[in-house]
Chains A and B, each alone.
Chain A
Amino acid sequence: MSVSVVYAILVTSLATFLSRFLGAVSSQGIKESSKIFKWFNCLAYATLAALIARTIIFPVGVLNEAGYLIRLIVVILSLGVFFVSKRNYVYPTIFSAVCMALMASYF
């Protein structure tokens, strides 16, 4: 293994574990019926939504090569499949991959 890659992996793991561990430690005295728990629940959902929106609108990696319009169409169609399939999670997910691969090939 090259040294820089191993260090990069260790640093990435440390940065990731830090948030998880601090969360586990600081949640010790919090009751699930408390207001602070409800607030953190809202923060968690909002942060996840922000992350998902950022991943789709400002992606890093290979998704960046697909145009805005293609990503927007895939998201709208996949949400359509989600509602048509009575809120099934698997159909829209598979559909999105096929749809993105096809649209990226032809446009």
Chain B
Amino acid sequence: MINKKIFFKGYKSILAHDSPAIALGCCFIAIGALLKNLGFNIQESIFSTMLTYALPGSLVMAESLLVGASLLNIFLAVWFVNARLYPMAVSLFPLMMHKNQPKWKYYFSCHFIAVSAWLIMKSNYKSIPKEQRIDYWIGIGSATWSVAVLGTFVGFYFSEFLNKEIMMGLAILNPIYFLCMMVGASKTIQITLSVLFGAILGPIFYFFSPEWSILLGGVVGGTAAYLIGEINVS
């Protein structure tokens, strides 16, 4: 089963001085308020965060519901915007794979893949023995997921106190936090170029195809950065 000591070590990682808990919580406060304004009740809002647990996907769902999109359209729009989770999973799970750990832990804990938990794990995994990393990851994921659910709850009940300017402030928190974390993580030429190319190409591709812009920016930018890095090494 799960090693409790390692699990709680992961869980407590959101209490660190540079934790994403504040940014994450504030963003889900905004989501809770947004869902209430859209006509969701408290159960639906909490249910949405618990099951989806991905900020851009929730925003796209909210926008799609506003314009009366079909379920197929919602599925495709969310899938496009959340397709980033696929390379994030592939670039994280090999760091935690161990033959002594059961497969269900990996399939269960993939639900916790989100930018905040992913970045915490990427910066801390070396300090945890490989066999125990999956328990540490489940701890981090449970903690960030709890913060998201709590944020949605608070946002739902405090929405009437949040005016447009405060909502704007809450909405900018997450991108700025992630931007700083990405700049902080840019320690090798490949990652630095990946961040740079992705940030430039994503908005450029938006002019040609808003739906595909994130995926195309990521694939083209990431591949170019990888190739330049490999040439540089060799």
A-contact bits for B173-209, CB 8 A (1 contact / 0 none): 1111111111111000011011111111111011000
Q: Quick check: B221 and A46 within 8 Å, CB to CB? A: yes
Q: Quick check: A54 and B214 within 8 Å, CB to CB? A: yes
Q: Quick check: B167 and A62 within 8 Å, CB to CB? A: yes
Name A6-27 residues within 8 Å CB distance of B.
6-27
> Which single member of B52, B63, B76, B190 contacts A42 (CB below 8 Å)?
B190
Given contacts A48-B84, A53-B199, A97-B169, contact A43 B115 (CB under 8 A): no
Q: How far is the CA of A51 from the CA of B62 in the complex (A)?
A: 18
For residue B203, which residues in chain A have a CB less than 8 angstroms away from its CB?
A: 50, 53-54, 57-58
For residue A93, which residues in chain B have a CB less than 8 angstroms away from its CB?
A: 22-23, 173, 176-177, 180
Least CB distance, B91 to chain A, in whole angstroms: 4
Q: Quick check: A100 and B184 within 8 Å, CB to CB? A: no
Q: How far is the CA of A77 from the CA of B49 in the complex (A)?
A: 31
Q: How far is the CA of A78 from the CA of B6 in the complex (A)?
A: 34
Q: How far is the CA of A60 from the CA of B234 in the complex (A)?
A: 42
B10 beta carbon closer than 8 Å to chain A = no
For residue A63, which residues in chain B have a CB less than 8 angstroms away from its CB?
A: 168, 171-172
B154 beta carbon closer than 8 Å to chain A = no
For residue A53, which residues in chain B have a CB less than 8 angstroms away from its CB?
A: 198-200, 202-203, 217
For residue B205, which residues in chain A have a CB less than 8 angstroms away from its CB?
A: 50
Q: Quick check: A65 and B168 within 8 Å, CB to CB? A: yes
Q: Quick check: B179 and A43 within 8 Å, CB to CB? A: no
Given contacts A9-B47, A15-B82, contact A30 B172 (CB under 8 A): no
> Which single member of A19, A54, A90 contacts B202 (CB below 8 Å)?
A54
For residue A57, which residues in chain B have a CB less than 8 angstroms away from its CB?
A: 203, 206
> Which single member of A5, A79, A88, A100 contacts B168 (CB below 8 Å)?
A100
A-contact bits for B104-131, CB 8 A (1 contact / 0 none): 0011001101010010000000000000
**B184 to chain A: closest residue by CB:** A87
B3 beta carbon closer than 8 Å to chain A = no
Q: Quick check: B169 and A12 within 8 Å, CB to CB? A: no
Interface size on B, residues (CB 8 A): 111
Given contacts A46-B217, A51-B84, A62-B164, contact A21 B198 (CB under 8 A): no
Q: Quick check: B91 and A104 within 8 Å, CB to CB? A: no
> Which single member of B61, B168, B202 contacts A12 (CB below 8 Å)?
B61
B-contact bits for A54-82, CB 8 A (1 contact / 0 none): 11111111110110000100110011001
* Chain B CB within 10 A, most for which of A6, A17, A62, A78: A62
For residue A87, which residues in chain B have a CB less than 8 angstroms away from its CB?
A: 180, 184
For residue B220, which residues in chain A have a CB less than 8 angstroms away from its CB?
A: 46
5 more CB-based (< 8 A) A-B contacts, given A19-B86, A37-B91, A40-B87: A16-B78, A39-B223, A57-B206, A62-B164, A90-B18
6 closest A-B pairs by beta carbon, nearest first, are A23-B89, A50-B202, A47-B218, A49-B198, A50-B217, A46-B198
A sample of 29 cross-chain residue pairs with beta-carbon separation below 8 angstroms, ordered by A number, consists of A7-B71, A8-B64, A9-B51, A12-B48, A16-B54, A16-B79, A19-B79, A27-B93, A39-B223, A41-B190, A43-B223, A46-B195, A46-B198, A46-B222, A48-B178, A49-B218, A49-B221, A51-B81, A54-B213, A60-B59, A61-B171, A71-B172, A74-B172, A88-B18, A90-B19, A93-B22, A93-B176, A93-B177, A101-B166
